[in-house]
A = this chain, B = another copy of it.
Amino acid sequence: MTVGEGLAVLVAQPGPLEESDTFERTAGGAEANVATVLPQLGVDTAWLSRIGSDGFGRYLIAHLAARGVDVSAVVTDPTRPTAVYVKERGSGSGKATDLAERASRMLYYRTGSAASAMSPADLGATAAARLLAHCDLVHFTGITTALSDSTTELTEALLALPRNGRLVSFDLNFRPALWAQRLDLAAEVLARHVRGSDVVFLGADEAAAVFGTGDPDALRAQFPEPAQLIVKNDEHTVTGFAGAERVEVPALGLEVTERIGAGDAFAGGYLAALLHGRPLGQRLRFGHLCAAAALTGTGDGAELPHPSVLERLAGLDEKGWAELHYNETVIENVVL
Contacts and interface: CB of A to CB of B under 8 A. Distances in A.
Contact of A56 (B18, B25, B59): B18
A194 B112 CA distance: 31
B54 A107 contact: yes
Nearest to A17: B55
A55 B12 contact: yes
A178 interface: no
Nearest to A25: B21
Q: How many copies does the complex hold?
A: 2
Contacts of A107: 54-56, 81
Interface in A107-160: 107-109, 111-112
A109 B52 CA distance: 12
Contact of A18 (B55, B81, B88, B97): B55
Contact of A17 (B24, B54, B97): B54
Contacts of A59: 17-19
Interface residues of A, number: 28
A6 to B, nearest CB: 13
Interface string A44-83: 0000000000111011001000000000000000000100
A284 interface: no
B25 A22 contact: yes
Contacts of A109: 81, 84, 109
Which 5 pairs from chain A and chain B are nearest by CB? A17-B55, A109-B109, A18-B58, A18-B59, A18-B55
